[in-house]
Structure 1
Amino acid sequence: MLLYKVRRLLASLFIRASGTTVLIATVLYVLGCYFLLSYAGETEIVAPENFVYWLVVTASTVGYGDFSPSTPLGKLAVSIWVIPLGLSLFAMIITRVGFGISEFVQRGKKGLRNMKHENHTVIIGWNGARTLRLIELLLSKTNGDASDIVLCVEADIENPMPHRIDFVRVESFSHAEGIQRASLDKAARIIIDNPLDDVTLTTALFCDKLSPNSHKTAYFQDENVGELLRAHCPNIECIPSVAVELLAKSSLDPGSARLHRQLLDSTYGMTQYSVVYQGAEPLLVGALFDHFKHDLAATLIGVRRAGEQKIAINPALNENVAAGDTVYYIAAERLPEKRCFDVKVADREGLGECLTN
């Protein structure tokens, strides 16, 4: 009965012991070993180059045998102090390290850790297979984007793609302290996709306040809700459901749905990308079109002027692309910005003369 109580007391002290307590106990143990063995005359063991090595080997029960106490008092000190206390401390430290690693991993799986990312992508919302597909598309190599991805959800789930994305679980998307664990204010891109449009609307407004400089995209099943958000936050790109439009288009032009899916799918076939022109001199659309097709094996399909929402699909060849305009193109993979606008001067002038004549 007494032994059982002692075991319970030691187990309780072990569980409740803080890191500081363990550190103090370790220091006292090491000092006690040193002074006891010095007093016993174990000069070889307490030598600076041998003591720490011998103590670790002895306390961990490895016991190589290359150093051992030779005096009766030294043997007694090792028997009643070094080995019994060393075993206890060694087991305590190893166990606490194991608990710490396990807790760190579990907190990551459950989304309880604070993220320390910058210029990353945050996905807010959980839609099961659709969200997993979205992540796969973002992780696709052809996208040319190596930024980290943080999935932020309200659902009671664990990280669905450990070792590939980071994960944050919050009580509410409008709770600043919780959602900031995803480093929202330092994100480069925020994607908001919730099953309920009203949650998407309030989350988008909240994100626009916390992260005004990031590019935000929100998906809405009801286009009217998206128009309401766009009226208050024109910088947020609202994506409506196009299922009905694709249904009508495919009935008139068979294969249209497959074409649109392939253009959007970065893991298969020719896909669509965009790039912003930052040059000082305007470029002719015709020169760009020829450069994309002949030099880059790509096709220019549209241009969006700086500050405008509407995209000019199939623009005229004699139009110009100015600084800040966005060019949309089809290619096998995302192209570097420098290559996209590396148009030769001779090609610009020659095409300009042809268009003028």
Structure 2
Amino acid sequence: MPILQLIVSRLYQHVLELKLWLLGSLICAYLLISWVLFALAGESGLTDSPLTFIYFAATTASTVGYGDLSPETEAGRMVAAFWFFPGALLIFSAVLGRLTGVLVEGVRRMADGNGNFERVQNATVIVGYRRDRTPLMVENLIAGQDGDDKIILLADSKNVEVPEGVRLIRAERMDALQSLRRAAIPGAQKVLVYAGSDAETFNTCLAIRELNETVHVAAYFEDRDTARRAGRLAGIEPVVSNSCEALVRAAQDPGAGQILMALSTAGLGATIYSAVIETEGTTGGNGGATETAFLEKALSGAEGTLIAVSQPDDAAFLFRPFPKTLKSGGSFYYLASARLSESQILAGLEGSDVRVSV
């Protein structure tokens, strides 16, 4: 008896929750019984073809009622009136309600940050949330014109004001691998880490490297030694606050503080951008290298100004006077009112064997 009560209780619970298996079973049983009843009533026009019967059931259940198929016998009309019409409406309403519930639940989970974007590719992921900083970060990402059309925010804060167009993932820990997977780290294009502390930022950077060995990661640190250590061990680009230096520069040279702020903010005038140059052959007489003078001329023709370069075998930034040549794989940094495209830069470069990654 207890076993029977348990079965009845479970079945009753599934009926209340309208489980998909139960709904599917009811639909199949209802269609089978209906087909038998119409067949016994002599409605061969409805029952001879399974596709015809399904079409009739669908148009009836959805209340479309095209009128091209209908019972022709008295018995068939009685079956339709007292069995098929009421049952079809009930089942159609149940299916519609179930689908609506699933969609609403999915949207609610996404809005609450409980979704999963693991299959999203080439996204820009922001790890960490600062109410006074994150919206500005999103604004600058979009203004930077670097393909940041899919932005995912991984946050552990309960009160998150998600900027428009940003997808939210909520987690207890920033460095949890499962949370980072849900935030599309394995297929991310770039990652920005701005966690609550240097220790959490450091651990998060290491966890990101476990999931994606090649993605470019920029992380903010308060401590310079921790930033340097993270850059070396996790292979990321650490960023340390230069507020002290900016304050001194602003005091010594009035206006310098505003200039430094403008140079780092997209959309407020000339901004610093970077690109990588790749040379397969010879440009300007140097095998596998590009004449810096040609590069400077090309940028100038596109309303840009070359400010620094770095060679692929040396992480140091080289300012004017620039080296004579920039080796293949080297990076160059320029000022412009907007990010220059590859074609804009190549238009002023001599040699068809040069490619630029912007």
Instruction: Report the TM range for the smaller structure's normalisation.
Output: 0.7 to 0.9
Q: Tell me, which stretches of 5 or more residues in structure 2 are unaligned?
A: 1-9, 281-287, 352-358
Paired AA for residue 236 in structure 1: I
- Structure 1 residue 215 and structure 2 residue 216: aligned? yes
2:128 aligned partner: 125
5 Å-filtered alignment, 1:259-298, equals: 259-280=259-280, 281-293=288-300, 295-298=301-304
Moved over 6 A (4+): none
| Structure 1 SS opposite 2:204 | helix
Would the alpha carbon gap of residues 84 and 345 (structure 1) be closer, same or farther in structure 2, given more than 3 Å must change?
closer
Could you tell me how far apart the structure 2 residues matched to 1:104 and 1:313 are? Answer: 52
Please tell me the residue identity of whatever aligns with 1:287. F
The correspondence of residues 189-338 of structure 1 with structure 2, limited to 5 A, is 189-233=190-234, 235-280=235-280, 281-293=288-300, 295-316=301-322, 319-338=324-343
Give how far 1:193 is off.
Answer: 0.3
Q: After superposition, what is the alpha-carbon deviation per residue over 1:183-208, rounded to whole angstroms, capped at 9, x for unaligned?
A: 21222211110232221122122222
Please give the alpha-carbon distance, in whole angstroms, between the structure 2 residues aligned to 1:307 and 1:166. 38
Query: Residues of 2 paired with 1:10 and 1:65: CA distance?
Result: 38
Q: Distance in 2 between matches of 1:41 and 1:161?
A: 63
Number of residues of Structure 1 aligned to a counterpart in Structure 2 = 334
For the Cα contact (< 8 Å) 2:295–2:349, is it kept in 1?
Answer: no
Whether contact under 8 Å (1:216, 1:236) holds in the other structure is yes
Corresponding position of 2:82 = 80
Distance 1:56 1:125 in 2: 49
The verdict on how the C-alpha distance between 1:232 and 1:56 changes in structure 2, with shifts beyond 3 A counting, is closer
TM-score (norm 2): 0.84
**1:26-175 correspondence runs (5 A):** 26-46=27-47, 48=49, 51-63=53-65, 67-115=69-117, 116-140=119-143, 142-157=144-159, 160-161=162-163, 164-175=165-176
Q: Which SS does the other structure have where 1:129 is aligned?
A: coil
Q: How much has 1:122 moved relative to structure 2?
A: 1.4
Letter in 1 for 2:86: P
Displacement after TM superposition at 1:320 (Å):
1.1
**Are the aligned partners of 1:262 and 1:271 in contact in 2 as well (CA < 8 Å)?**
yes
8 Å Cα contact 1:221/1:240 also seen in 2: yes
Q: Is the 8 A contact 2:297 2:348 kept in 1?
A: no
Structure 1, 152-161 or 84-93: larger mean CA deviation = 152-161
1:297 to partner: Cα distance: 1.1
- SS at structure 2 position matched to 1:312: coil
TM-score (norm 1): 0.84
**Percent identity among equivalent residues?**
26
RMSD after superposition: 2.6
Return the offset for 1:268.
2.5
Looking at structure 2, the residues matched to 219 and 172 of structure 1 have their Cα atoms a distance apart, in angstroms, of 17
- Residue type of the partner of 1:309? A
Find the aligned partners of 1:66 and 1:119 in 2 and give their Cα distance.
51
| Matched residue type, 1:270 | A
Tell me the amino acid that sits aligned with residue 211 of structure 1: N
Q: CA deviation at 1:68?
A: 4.0
